[in-house]
């Protein structure tokens, strides 16, 4: 970690967790948590935007000090990086254009003629491969790319974190979007860092304080329940 600076890796394309505002600033639940951590350390925060699939490598090679980008704490990832959290428990949702598709059962979704997109190297991709192995998977580098595929009818469904699906329904209310079911998985989101006992202990205690004081709940309400912040987007 450079003196006086906390470098945070994030996508900037995962609303309501990490998204780029009109002024180019990174906003969202993840961004606010990173800002509070840097303030607690007495240093400045600098966000580095990159594709989701690049985040862990960037942390391992020292390009960033921390990952805060809607990353699920999986055993596979945990074998490479340390995780602090969860700071929020998410789950998968299936976003479609049309209630008919949203109401389809698993067998209807698991068909060679059914095309599904998900973030590359994400738990959403793993979910699609496990639950609907016969469907055609079309990996996307970002949520922006995935949404374009859905809006252009190049795919039938988008699998993503449930909060993102709800955000899309609120922002693109004229697109006829629907979400299949509710949260379909258990996805504990964590802060990724390199192995360092003192650093891990400090962050664990900091997140406990955020939760214990109610500040974490306030942030979750601000970004996951309220929608007024959407006007800050391009």
pLDDT tens digits for 195-217? Answer: 999 999 999 999 999 999 999 99
35 has pLDDT over 80: yes
Burial class (CB in 10 A: 0-12, 13-18, 19+), 182: exposed
* Dist. CA 179–CA 112, nearest whole Å: 21
Tokens of 93: 């949702």
pTM of the model: 0.88
Q: Which domains does the chain have, with CATH numbers?
A: 5-89+188-232 (3.40.190.10), 92-180 (3.40.190.10)
Give the distance, in angstroms, between the CA of residue 133 and the centroid of all CA atoms in the same chain: 23
Which pLDDT score is estimated for 109?
A: 80
pLDDT in tens, 49-101: 999 999 999 999 999 999 999 999 999 999 999 999 999 999 999 999 876 56
* Dist. CA 190–CA 211, nearest whole Å: 14
* Residue 14: band (very low, low, confident or very high) from pLDDT cuts 50, 70, 90: very high
């Amino acid at each position: 970690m450079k003196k006086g600076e906390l470098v945070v890796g994030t996508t900037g394309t995962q609303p309501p967790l990490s998204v780029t505002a009109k002024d180019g600033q990174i906003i969202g639940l993840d961004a606010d948590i990173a800002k509070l951590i840097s303030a607690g350390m007495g240093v400045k925060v600098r966000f580095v935007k990159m594709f989701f699939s690049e985040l862990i490598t960037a942390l391992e090679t020292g390009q960033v000090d921390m990952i805060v980008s809607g990353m699920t704490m999986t055993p596979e990832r945990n074998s490479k990086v340390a995780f602090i959290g969860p700071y929020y428990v998410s789950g998968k949702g299936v976003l479609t254009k049309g209630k008919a598709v949203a109401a389809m059962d698993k067998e209807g979704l698991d068909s060679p003629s059914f095309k599904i997109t998900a973030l590359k190297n994400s738990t959403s991709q793993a979910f699609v491969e496990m639950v609907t192995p016969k469907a055609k998977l079309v990996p996307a580098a970002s949520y922006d790319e995935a949404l374009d595929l859905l809006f252009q009818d190049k795919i039938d469904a988008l699998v993503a974190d449930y909060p993102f699906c709800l955000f899309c329904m609120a922002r693109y209310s004229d697109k006829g979007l629907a979400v299949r079911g509710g949260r379909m998985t258990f996805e504990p989101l964590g802060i990724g860092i390199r192995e360092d006992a003192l650093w891990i202990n400090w962050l664990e205690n900091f997140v406990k304080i955020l939760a214990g004081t109610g500040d974490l709940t306030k942030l979750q309400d601000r970004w996951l329940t309220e929608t007024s912040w959407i006007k800050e987007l391009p």
